[in-house]
Structure 1
Amino acid sequence: MQTAFGLLTYCSNIHPGVDWNHHFSVLQGSIPEIKNSVSKDASMGIGLRLANQASIDLSEADNFEAFQNWLTENDCYVFTVNGFPYGGFHDVVVKDQVHAPDWTTDDRVQYTIRMFKLLAKLLPAEMNEGGISTSPLSYRFWWKVESDTPTETLDYATTQATQNILLVVDKLITLKESTGKTLHLDIEPEPDGILENSTEFITWYQDYLRPLAIEYFAKKGISSDETLHILHTHIQLCYDVCHFAVSYEKPAIVVEQLSKANIAVGKIQISSAIKVDFTKDAEEKLKAIAQYDEVSYLHQVVAKKADGTFEKYQDLNHAIQAFAPEKHVEWRVHFHVPLFIGQYSELSSTQSDIVDTIAIHKQKPFTNHLEIETYTWGVLPPEVQVPLNESIAREINWVKGLL
C-alpha cells in the first residue's frame, strides 16, 4: 500500500507453494482477508515470492491473465518479487540449499530473467519501478579461499557470479527500452553468503561489479560513466534489517556508507532477529534459545565475546554445542521473529534496529519499497503461534504505526 515513505507490503514467501496453482490458491485464501484488515479502502501491494516452477507456470498466458484479473478484482498489485529461494521453502529442509542454484549457474540467470519479464508486465501502468531481491551470489562454505583447482575458489565464484549478473543487467536495459519500466536486481547480503554484510557488499560492488561491468559494456560501445549509471539503476541493495542486525551493523552507518559509495537501496526488508543476553541467567537462556533449533532453515549465529570480538557459527546447533558462559556475552541469531514482539520470555529481539532504520528512512527516504519478511511462523515455538493472517495484518499495522 502507498505510505508517505514508500510502498509497503509483506512477502508472500510466508505462504507455501512451489508451483503456481498451489501458491495462487493460498494467496486467494489469504490476501483478501489481510487487505480488509490493513488497506480496506485503498489498493494493496503484494510482495510476490515465485519459486522457479511457479515462474514457469505464471509465464503461461492463461495463468498470467487469470492472476492479473484477480489482482484487478481485489484492488491489488505487484511491485516487488522475492527471487532468493529457487525451490521449496516450506515443509522441506532448506538450510544452505536456499542458495542453490547460485549465481555461478545459468539456471539462476534464466530464472531471474523470467521473473523480471513477469514483473515488467505486472507493474501497474502508472508505476515505473520494480525490483527483485536475490541471493548474495552463493553460500561461502561451498568455496575455498585457496585451491589448486581455480574453479573451486571463492574468487572464481565471485567473478563468475558477477559476470552472470551482468547478463541480467543487459536484459534489464532491453526491458526498460521496450516497456519503459525501470527494474532493479536487489542483492541481499546474508550471514555466510559470499556477501554477508554491508562492507562486503560495497567491496564487491566497487572491486568486482564495476570493473567487470566497464569491461563488459565497453565491448558494446558504452562508456564507463554510462556503465556506472546503468549499475546504479539496475543493481541495488536489499537492506534486510534482520541480516544486518545479526552482524551487529548500525543502520545509520550502513546507510551513510552506501550513500558515500553511490549505491542505491532497492528495498528494505523489515525483519527482526533473536537476541540473547548471556550476562545473567545464561543457562536458562541457553535452554530458551534451544527451542528455536529447528531443521528447516539455517539459523546462523554471531556471538559477541567477553573481549569484544566476534565468533560466527553456521547454524544454531553449532553455537549451542560451543557455548561457554564465561566466553559469550551476547548472541544474534538469524531467525526471523515477529516484528511486534520485543521480548520472548528470557530472549529478546533486534526490534530496535527496525525502529532505527525506519526513523532514518523517514528523515531522509532512501528507497521506495518496504517489504515485511517474517517467514518462520510455521516453525516458531507453540507459545508464539497465532493465526497466520491475523499475524500478517498485525505486523503490517505495526509498521504502519512506525511510518
Structure 2
Amino acid sequence: MRFRHPDGTVVHLAYCTNVHQAEDLDGVLAQLARFGEPVRERLGVDRLGLGLWLARPVASELVADPAAVTKLKAELAARGLEVVTFNGFPYQGFHDPVVKHKVYRPDWAAPERTRYTLDLARLLAELLPDDAVRGSVSTLPLGWRTDWRGDGGQLDLLAKGLAEQDRPVRVAFEPEPGCAIETTAQAAALLSEVDTDWLGVCLDTCHLAVGFEDPAAALGRLEDAGLDVVKLQASAALEAAEPKDPATRRALESFVEPRFLHQSNEGAPPGADDLDLALGGGLPGEAPWRVHFHVPLHADPAPPLTSTRPVLAATLAELFGGATARTDHVEVETYTWQVLPDAPADDAGLVAGIAAELDWTRHALTTLGLEEVSA
C-alpha cells in the first residue's frame, strides 16, 4: 500500500514475508498466491507491498537465472503485489526447528554476508516499480555482541557495490537487543564513519521498546549522527507489568519456545539473552519486563500481559506527524505468528491476522494526516 505525506513524500507500507517458510523460488512464488494476494484482497486494495525475504539459496537461484527474475516480477504484478524493500537479516534456515543465535551468522565480518546483501540489492533493483524512488534492504546489526571483532572493511565494500548500481538501493542496519548494535546510541557510535549515502538504520519498534528507548530521543540521536532511518519495521514487543506475579509468570512461560531468541530487559540493557533465562533468575522482576517477542500489532496478548504498541504509535507520530516524513519505507514484521501460544490454526487465520495488522497501521498513518494512494 502507498500513502502520501502532506510534504508530498510517497510512503510505502508492506508486510515482511519472513513469516512464511520458503527457501527455493517455487516456495516464494507459491507464497504469493497462498498469502500475498489473499491479504491484499482481504484489505480491499489494488496494490499491496511485500517486504520480501529471499534466503541465500533463493537469491543464488535468481542471480544465476535472469528468466527467473522476470518470472518473479511478472507473478508479483499479476497478483497486485509490489516490492520496494527486502529483509536481508536472516541468511537462511529461518524456519528451522531451532534458530536462536544462528540468525546472526554470517555476520558483517564475513565476505559471504557482503555478497549476499549485494545480490539482494541487485535483485531488488530489478524488481522495483518504475516509479519507486529507491529500494531498501535491512540487515543485522553487525553481529552478536560476544562474537563481534570488527568488519574488516566489509562495510566499505558494501557501500562501493551499492554505488555502482543503476537504481538506488540503501542498506539499513537494524539495532537489536544483545547485538553489537542494540541501541540507537550504539548505532550512532559504531556507524559514525560509514558512507551514509548508502548505509543507514532500520528502526524496529519492538527492539526500540525492549531497549526502553524513547522514540523522540532515539530519532534525535540518529539525526545528530547523520544516520537516516532508511526503513521502519512496525512491530510490538511483549510486556509484563508485574513479572513476579504468579499469573504473569505463567503467562510468560507460555511464550517460551525453541525456535527464536527472546531477549528480555527490565529497564535499559543489559538484560537476559532469552525469556527462559529471565524467568530462571536472569532478571530480578522488580520492574516491568519487555521481551523480544514480536506480537500482533492490532491486538494485545491475553491479560495480564500487554504489548508495547504505544511505543510503535509514538514512533509513527515522530516519523510522520511533523511537517516532513522522516522515512518512506514501513514494513510490518511479525514473524512469530506460528510460535505464538494462540497461533493461527490455518492459512485463513494467518491471512486474517496479517491483514488486521496492516489495517491497524493504515489507520495509524491516515490518522497522522497521510492520504492513502490507490494503484
Q: TM-score, normalised by structure 1?
A: 0.84
In the alignment, which residue of structure 2 is the partner of 1:295?
A: 258
In the alignment, which residue of structure 1 is the partner of 2:232?
A: 268
Instruction: Note if 1:136 corresponds to 2:141.
Output: yes
Q: For 1:283-342, what per-residue CA distance to the aligned partner results, in whole angstroms no more than 9, with x for missing partners?
A: 2111110110100000001123xxxx75511111111110676x5211110000000123
Instruction: Note if 1:370 corresponds to 2:330.
Output: yes
The one-letter code sitting in structure 1 at the alignment partner of 2:321 is Q
Q: Structure 1 residues 249 and 101 mapped into 2: Cα distance closer, same or farther (>3 Å)?
A: same
Conservation of the 8 A alpha-carbon contact between 1:17 and 1:88: no
Matches of 1:53 and 1:310, distance apart in 2: 35
In the alignment, which residue of structure 1 is the partner of 2:82?
A: 77
Deviation at 1:70, TM superposition (A): 1.0
Q: For 1:21-74, what per-residue CA distance to the aligned partner results, in whole angstroms no more than 9, with x for missing partners?
A: 11221222111111112252x322211111100111222123212111112222
Deviation at 1:159, TM superposition (A): 4.0
In the alignment, which residue of structure 2 is the partner of 1:109?
A: 114
Matches of 1:130 and 1:383, distance apart in 2: 32
In the alignment, which residue of structure 1 is the partner of 2:371?
A: none
Q: Structure 1 residues 291 and 250 mapped into 2: Cα distance closer, same or farther (>3 Å)?
A: same
In the alignment, which residue of structure 1 is the partner of 2:279?
A: 320
The one-letter code sitting in structure 1 at the alignment partner of 2:336 is T
Secondary structure of the residue that 2:23 maps to in structure 1? coil
Matches of 1:324 and 1:137, distance apart in 2: 26
Secondary structure of the residue that 2:150 maps to in structure 1? helix
Q: CA RMSD in A?
A: 1.7
In the alignment, which residue of structure 2 is the partner of 1:28?
A: 33
In the alignment, which residue of structure 1 is the partner of 2:291?
A: 333
Conservation of the 8 A alpha-carbon contact between 1:15 and 1:27: no
In the alignment, which residue of structure 1 is the partner of 2:368?
A: none
Instruction: Note if 1:349 corresponds to 2:341.
Output: no
- The correspondence of residues 2-401 of structure 1 with structure 2, limited to 5 A, is 2-5=2-5, 6-40=11-45, 42-59=46-63, 60-142=65-147, 154=148, 157-160=149-152, 163-175=153-165, 179=166, 181-206=167-192, 209-210=193-194, 231-278=195-242, 282-304=245-267, 311-322=270-281, 327-364=285-322, 365-382=325-342, 387-401=349-363
Conservation of the 8 A alpha-carbon contact between 2:232 and 2:329: yes
The one-letter code sitting in structure 2 at the alignment partner of 1:158 is G
Deviation at 1:103, TM superposition (A): 0.9
Matches of 1:122 and 1:54, distance apart in 2: 15
Conservation of the 8 A alpha-carbon contact between 1:9 and 1:372: yes
Matches of 2:343 and 2:357, distance apart in 1: 17
The one-letter code sitting in structure 1 at the alignment partner of 2:189 is T
Conservation of the 8 A alpha-carbon contact between 2:16 and 2:333: yes
Q: Which has the higher helix share?
A: 1
Unmatched 5+ stretches in structure 1: 143-153, 211-230
Q: Structure 1 residues 324 and 111 mapped into 2: Cα distance closer, same or farther (>3 Å)?
A: closer
Secondary structure of the residue that 2:294 maps to in structure 1? strand
In the alignment, which residue of structure 1 is the partner of 2:8?
A: none
Q: Structure 1 residues 268 and 383 mapped into 2: Cα distance closer, same or farther (>3 Å)?
A: closer
The higher radius of gyration belongs to: 1
The one-letter code sitting in structure 1 at the alignment partner of 2:66 is A
Matches of 2:333 and 2:154, distance apart in 1: 27
In the alignment, which residue of structure 2 is the partner of 1:151?
A: none
Q: For 1:234-260, what per-residue CA distance to the aligned partner results, in whole angstroms no more than 9, with x for missing partners?
A: 001000000010000011111111122
In the alignment, which residue of structure 2 is the partner of 1:148?
A: none
Unmatched 5+ stretches in structure 2: 6-10, 366-375
Bigger Cα displacement from structure 2, 289-298 vs 65-74:
65-74
Conservation of the 8 A alpha-carbon contact between 1:233 and 1:264: no
Matches of 2:97 and 2:26, distance apart in 1: 19
Deviation at 1:158, TM superposition (A): 2.3
Matches of 1:173 and 1:39, distance apart in 2: 38
Matches of 1:296 and 1:324, distance apart in 2: 21
Matches of 1:110 and 1:323, distance apart in 2: 38
Deviation at 1:84, TM superposition (A): 0.3
The one-letter code sitting in structure 2 at the alignment partner of 1:341 is A
In the alignment, which residue of structure 2 is the partner of 1:145?
A: none
Matches of 1:53 and 1:7, distance apart in 2: 27
Q: Structure 1 residues 69 and 384 mapped into 2: Cα distance closer, same or farther (>3 Å)?
A: closer
Q: Which has the higher contact order (CA 8 A, sep 6+)?
A: 2
Conservation of the 8 A alpha-carbon contact between 2:265 and 2:283: no
Conservation of the 8 A alpha-carbon contact between 1:47 and 1:81: yes
Conservation of the 8 A alpha-carbon contact between 2:138 and 2:173: yes
Conservation of the 8 A alpha-carbon contact between 2:272 and 2:282: no
Conservation of the 8 A alpha-carbon contact between 2:144 and 2:179: yes
Q: For 1:63-97, what per-residue CA distance to the aligned partner results, in whole angstroms no more than 9, with x for missing partners?
A: 21211111222232210000000011114211000
Q: For 1:147-191, what per-residue CA distance to the aligned partner results, in whole angstroms no more than 9, with x for missing partners?
A: xxxxxxx4xx2242xx1021111011110xxx2x22110000101
